[in-house]
Amino acid sequence: IPALAESWSLVNNLTWEFKLRKGVKFHDGSELTAEDIAWSMDRPSTIIGSPGKFDVYTKGILNKTIIDAQTIRFTTREPYPLMLADLTSVYIVSKKATTGISSDDFSSGKGMVGTGPYKFVRYQRDDRIELDRNDSYWGKKPAWSKVTMRFIPTGSTRLAALLAGDVQAIENVPTPDLEKVRSDASISLYSKVSHRLIYLYPDTKRDQSPFVTDKDGKPLAKNPLQDQRVRAALSMAINRDAIRDRVMEGLSEPTNNLVPKTLFGNNPALKVVKYDPEGAKKLLAAAGYPNGFGLTLHTPNNRYVNDEKIAQTIAQMFSRIGVVTKIEGLPMSVYSARGAKGEYSLGLLGWGAQTGEASSPLRALLACDNPAKGLGGFNWLKYCNPKMDELLQKALNTVDDKARLPLLQEAGALAINDGGLIPIHQQVTTWAAKKGIAYIPRTDERTHAFEFIPQ
């Protein structure tokens, strides 16, 4: 939107009509129709145990009515101001090509039949994806006839491949090598503050939490993370400027918001929490923990820029206020599987606001768990604040942006001030390319082959 949908209109408060672009073909040569749209919107709710949770973007749709091959109507349960934003997060697939195939078929490439500027050719697990230009693409033809996207998880190896000419562009330049890249005349560097919030999420639900102990490592009878003063103390113990300068080499924007300044729902009244270890100690004492306690912070070690280093730095900062903190770093595949089961007491995670506004993290990370409404899908430790949920629901049902903005801002402030999550920073994303190749940096962190442009 506006791509496969050429136009759309709000028929009434509960009905949206979309007109499809004519002549769009899937990679297998079949023509895009309203049947494919309906099929793509139905599919997320049929995938049991999907880690993607894409059904959060379709839960608000009550009925789908195909008017003709190029026209479809969606009826919603309630007024749905996020309809356009949510639909952009669900990718359209061919009903003909994907009927009866499994999620594994999508992972292997068998189900990759879309309408985009490049067609899938081959996937070699943990190594590469090969693409061919789609000469039947309805939009502007991309510059490159063939593209190979290689998986190089180690930053130094990725940069070495660029410098050696084995690849022509990379994403996520290792922060220790930024100056080296900037001073190399054969390379262009691109960066942008992203939608990606890096944050901590505490266990506020359980009376006893599995990774909270006393100083001797014995389980505590009561979970200190249930006390808002303790959560506030942890936030005050974090020196976000130091993380930006020493860990991220300047590639982060300290925050106390759910979304960056550029997105709808950012609350300018929420200032970055001042680093105040002495104030944090006083709050711990007031909460009944003058000598602190023990804690394990779980973190991915291969997902976000310097994720484990950030966690290690935060652990040192917590230990200075008496909260002796251990780190357990895990590959993201393991981390997310355990996290979804609620196995942690405090975790580090990142969230990109795909819909481009604050309702995205509010719905997914902070809303009380409600699968039927598509709420709380990534609220792994089951934080729940009914007052915040009430504000969020009002915002989700308010079409007028002027009325909706303060509802989102108030809901975000309520959750953050309550310590439902502890914001650290907005991640800055980088790309580097050989001279002669330009890239327009994206706030959503995506790397699209067709957006690399020859100069």
pLDDT of residue 60: 86
Bridge-based pairing of strands 118-124 and 128-133 is antiparallel
pLDDT of residue 52 exceeding 60: no
User: What percent of the chain is modeled with pLDDT above 90?
Assistant: 86
The whole-number pLDDT of residue 357 equals: 93
Question: Domains of the chain: which residue ranges?
Answer: 5-108, 118-193+428-454, 194-426
CB contact set of 25 (below 8 Å; sequence gap of 6+): 31, 32, 115, 136, 138
Q: Would residue 284 be called left, alpha or beta, if left means φ above 0 and alpha means ψ between -120 and 50 degrees?
A: alpha
Instruction: Report the pLDDT value the prediction gives residue 50, as an integer from 0 to 100.
Output: 57
| Mean pLDDT (whole number) for 157-167 | 97
Q: What is the pLDDT of residues 178-202, one digit of tens each?
A: 999 999 999 999 999 999 999 999 9
Beta bridge partners of 119: 132
Of the listed ranges 36-50, 59-73, 338-352, the one predicted with least confidence: 36-50
Q: Which backbone phi and psi does 208 adopt, to 5 degrees?
A: -120, 135
**Predicted pLDDT of residue 418:** 99
DSSP string, 406-453: HHHHHHHHHHHHTTSSEEEEEEEEEEEEETTEEE---TT----GGGEE
> How far apart (Å, rounded) are the C-alpha atoms in residues 417 and 105?
44
Confidence of residue 359 (pLDDT cuts 50, 70, 90): very high
Domain 118-193+428-454: assigned CATH number? 3.40.190.10
What are the pLDDT digits (tens) for 201-235?
A: 999 999 999 999 998 899 999 999 999 999 999 99
Contact by Cβ (8 Å): 437, 147 = no
Q: pLDDT per residue over 8-25, tens digit each?
A: 999 999 999 999 999 999
pLDDT higher than threshold 70 for residue 48: no
**256-287 confidence digits (pLDDT tens):** 999 999 999 999 999 999 999 999 999 999 99
According to the model, what pLDDT value does residue 49 have? Answer: 55
Give the mean pLDDT of 39-67: 80
For the segment 286-340, what is each residue's pLDDT rounded down to a tens digit? Answer: 999 999 999 999 999 999 999 999 999 999 999 999 999 999 999 999 999 999 9
Q: Give mean pLDDT, residues 146-156.
A: 95
Average confidence (pLDDT) over 93-104: 86
Q: pLDDT category, 2, cuts 50, 70, 90? A: confident
Mean pLDDT of the chain: 94
Q: How confident is the model at residue 46 (pLDDT cuts 50, 70, 90)?
A: confident
**Would you say 252 and 178 are in contact if contact means Cβ atoms under 8 Å apart?**
no
- What fold is seen in the domain 194-426? Dipeptide-binding Protein; domain 3 (3.10.105)
- What per-residue confidence (pLDDT) applies to 34? 98
**Which residues touch 69 (CB under 8 Å, ≥6 apart)?**
20, 33, 34, 35
Q: What is the CATH number of domain 5-108?
A: 3.90.76.10
